[in-house]
Amino acid sequence: MGYSPAVKADRLYCLAMHTPRYALGYHSASQVLGGVGAGVVFGTIFYTLAELVPTRRPRSFLGTVRMWILTNEVSTWFRLRDGWLIWDDAGRETEWQAWRALAVTGGTKSE
């Protein structure tokens, strides 16, 4: 299964952000690699706590907290949703296609 354009763009963004920092001399190679390593570790921990455990064990403490976050009054007011439960790409591809259609037509909506 291929990755969505949003995931590919996110990975390209990450690569594009650390390369100039090293090339301009703002950071050394060890600082850049340390930042990448810290990002991978933090991302893995965050994904495990926020996505993996709550979806595999919905009645666990983390699953209960996640459901409370998604169903409380403030979240409902802000229309917060967990798109990953509905779409493989969290619904971002359809949103991007709608934006792209508007961008190509010069910003005018077609009915």
The pLDDT tens digits of the residues spanning 58-111 come to 899 999 998 898 888 998 888 877 766 666 666 677 777 887 788 777 766 655
In a domain, 111, yes or no: no
Q: Which two tokens stand for residue 101?
A: 């259609």
Are 67 and 58 a contacting pair, CB within 8 Å?
yes
Q: How far apart are CA 103 and CA 97, in angstroms?
A: 10
In a domain, 109, yes or no: no
pLDDT classification of 45: cutoffs 50, 70, 90: very high
In a domain, 11, yes or no: yes
Distances (CA, A) of 56 to 59, 64, 85: 9, 12, 12
Q: How far apart are CA 53 and CA 87, in angstroms?
A: 19
Are 109 and 102 a contacting pair, CB within 8 Å?
yes
Q: Please state the domain count of the chain.
A: 1
In a domain, 110, yes or no: no
Measured in residues, the chain has a length of 111
In the predicted model, what is the mean pLDDT of the chain? 80
Report the pLDDT value the prediction gives residue 107, as an integer from 0 to 100.
63
Are 99 and 93 a contacting pair, CB within 8 Å?
no
Report the pLDDT value the prediction gives residue 109, as an integer from 0 to 100.
60
- Give the DSSP H or E segment for 100: helix 92-104
pLDDT tens figures, 13-34: 877 776 787 788 888 889 888 9
Residue 47 lies in domain: 5-104
